[in-house]
Structure 1
């Protein structure tokens, strides 16, 4: 078996020095969520079609964006790699890809966990596993998967910034904000183009209601996390949230019309951000014009895939906002089919996704008490269908708004007080508290 070692000492079946150069460039780009890692890995495969880990990286690039069309490409990568000589670590990656293709996110996460336990310097196993943890709602593993590997790494090793960036996000999602901020800033100092590390610090500043600092953090490093970054849309979304919390609605709208959705991206992750921002504005009663229609157009060909409940919820926001009842009904039908499958999305949908979509639909129909009834049981378990604390905050905001609009004033006051206690310096929290008090009076 033709094999050499990469810059971390890991054996790579089927590689040669020239294909390895392309592969390592693609891997480095993937770690920053910038550049064109797909082109790099395809260049590696053009030179060495038997390069197993190049097939693996290509598959992950098509799987970890939750794009329905990516499944066919990833399946082709798996089929091509399965017949090639491979070592145990590489076979572990192939097993994880097979699990993801079958929709078994948790199984894939466990497989990648074992790969990284045996080879803690396998940065691709750590990064793919970290993304799987994010999508499947395993918040603790966002931190602990990386923590296990840290003793085997040191400053100067290729990709060390990415390890720190992932660890920072895991720390933030588990409430260790001071350590998360320090670790994330260290990662960005090592590699200013690391969009994931940049976003980890943005999350800390969001959770701690440090909006002005958040704006300074994002604007001060803007030239590095924009440009050819394919993660920049989400980072622009974080910047928009700061402005929205400060009540600077025009700034948030300008970001939506510009870098967040001005190009009308058809990528799922960009559509998620677009819908999430518009829904927050919608809850505040902001006039959005034709913006909902553009986002709903983007979701229309994707929303019946029944692949991932977190995406379904954001598609439903767009369909409710745009008044597309037929599209909403088709989405709910796709969820019904998902409930009869054997993939992890059945659980994501049953526990959180379907009641959330029904609640969003009820909100759009003015059935606010029904919306409240659906949201209250799921708000404390919403992490089970993926996303971050910042993203899932939409459930709490929708619940609070529905309670006030539906005349459930005691509940509205309680929820407003809860939010203000958690975020005493947050403009949105203060406005809700004042509004609840005025309605009660």
Structure 2
């Protein structure tokens, strides 16, 4: 019987279909272009190959193509029931839950599946990363949970380039920076055409304050990565963060106009939304120029793709757009929906979300005291929103600037001192100087 790269049996009699599936796995796990073509080739070579359909459904879901994802995973489920092994049936059943948006059930199914088949990397990937089942679970300790999960299965994967890129990033986000960076660098050395490892390494450099080193990494590597790659825009977004840290707003703007404009970006929609909205918000908050129509373009992009959003992380960025454009109707509607879901107990991230959304609205209205008042009781709950620390820091920045502008200089100084103690930052040093006046 054919096997995947991790030695797990594949229910296909076609050697070529199995080879195409293995190729697609590697490309998807590396966030490298070509995975769609590989999985579709596997399906063409063996139309009853359940896992190839399941993998294709997964990519549909990543790009928020919900109907296509549901139809394709349903086909995979039928085929797995017909001729799949118990592992393949469990694999597909877990993906069904994830694609249907049943996060809690999907996480439970994932952990049960991994207990039996720990080297099923396509399922192991589900709870990992900044947009994974753990990050979006609403748990405050999801960074530590990701690290613990990787620690538990490290022996099963050994020196595997994909697993180490995840393990390294999980260690970094959980505060074990030196260890996390070392593991990530080993992963990158094993496979340079691995956007996931580059991304994880950029996060380690962000946490270490190594802005120039991160910029050099991107400049020396990005030329091999096609713009259609899932993480192309986001990797460039990291460059923009570094530029803002150095006070180079022009370079940050150039990244936006050259790479991140929604009509140009081919990234998954959640990446495009969060990268564009958060970069524009950072520029606006720091009183830097924003390109004409940039907010309107981002609002137009979001309006057709996030009509039924339930993720706290997405809501955070959607409210940035509504607040920056002073769209009172959108703000009122989003806040009402969030508060209703909170009252009904259907808000995994809890009270941080309505407070955060009201704070963003207040900040856009120059109501600094109101913004600080909303964030003060919940700023410690930010991890519950999901995403990475680098992505969530935009809310910390908003809080610090609101404190400075409302005259709460001692509070702002204490927060900035804590951040500067953790990592050097030219931007935080500039802001720290403002608290001395």
Same fold (TM over 0.5): yes
* Contact kept? 2:33, 2:226, Cα under 8 Å: no
Shift of 1:262: 6.9
| Residue of structure 2 in register with 1:437 after alignment | 436
Q: Note closer, same or farther for the CA distance 1:278–1:15 as it changes in structure 2 (3 Å cut).
A: farther
Q: Which residue in the other structure is 2:413 paired with?
A: 413
Q: 1:372 to 1:303 in 2, by over 3 A?
A: farther
In 2, are the aligned partners of 1:117 and 1:149 still within 8 Å (CA)?
no
Is 1:374–2:374 an aligned residue pair?
yes
Q: Tell me what 1:117 maps to.
A: 115
Aligned position for 1:108: 106
1:4·1:13 contact (CA, 8 Å) conserved in 2? yes
1:4 CA displacement: 3.5
Two-structure CA RMSD over aligned residues (Å): 2.3
Relative distance call for 1:214 and 1:192 in structure 2 (3 A) is same
Judged with a 3 Å threshold, the aligned counterparts in structure 2 of structure 1 residues 334 and 25 are, in CA distance, closer, same or farther, namely farther
Mapped partners of 1:367, 1:162: distance in 2: 46
**TM-score, normalising length: structure 2:** 0.90
Q: 1:226 to 1:189 in 2, by over 3 A?
A: farther
Assess if the C-alpha contact under 8 Å between 2:70 and 2:100 holds in 1: no
- Is residue 265–residue 298 contact of structure 1 (8 Å, CA) maintained in 2? no
Offset, 1:154? 4.1
Q: Deviations over 1:119-169 (max 9, x none)?
A: 2221111222313233335212322322333212344xxxx2111111111
Aligned residue in 1 for 2:55: 57
Give the C-alpha shift of residue 382 in structure 1: 1.5
Q: Secondary structure at the match of 2:379?
A: coil
Q: Which runs of 5+ in 1 are unaligned?
A: none
CA contact (8 A) 2:77 2:93 kept: no
Greater mean alpha carbon deviation, residues 27-36 or residues 47-56: 47-56
Q: Deviation of residue 274 (structure 1)?
A: 1.1
Q: Which residue of 2 aligns with 1:300?
A: 303
* TM-aligned CA distance change 1:124 to 1:342, over 3 Å: farther
> 2:286 maps to which residue?
284
Q: Within 2, Cα distance between the matches of 1:198 and 1:265?
A: 19
Which range moved further: 3-12 or 200-209? 3-12
- Pairs within 5 Å for 1:344-359: 346-348=347-349, 350-359=350-359
Shift of 1:334: 4.2
Unaligned runs of 5+ in 2: none
Normalising by the residue count of structure 1, what TM-score does the alignment of the two structures yield?
Answer: 0.89
Paired with 2:326 and 2:264, the residues of 1 have a C-alpha distance of 19
Distance in 2 between residues matched to 1:406 and 1:187, nearest whole Å: 46
Q: How many residues align?
A: 425
> Which of 149, 154, 168 does residue 153 from structure 2 map onto?
149
Structure 2: distance between partners of 1:4 and 1:416 = 56
The residue number in structure 2 matching 1:43 is: 41
Match 2:277 to one of 275, 299, 304: 275
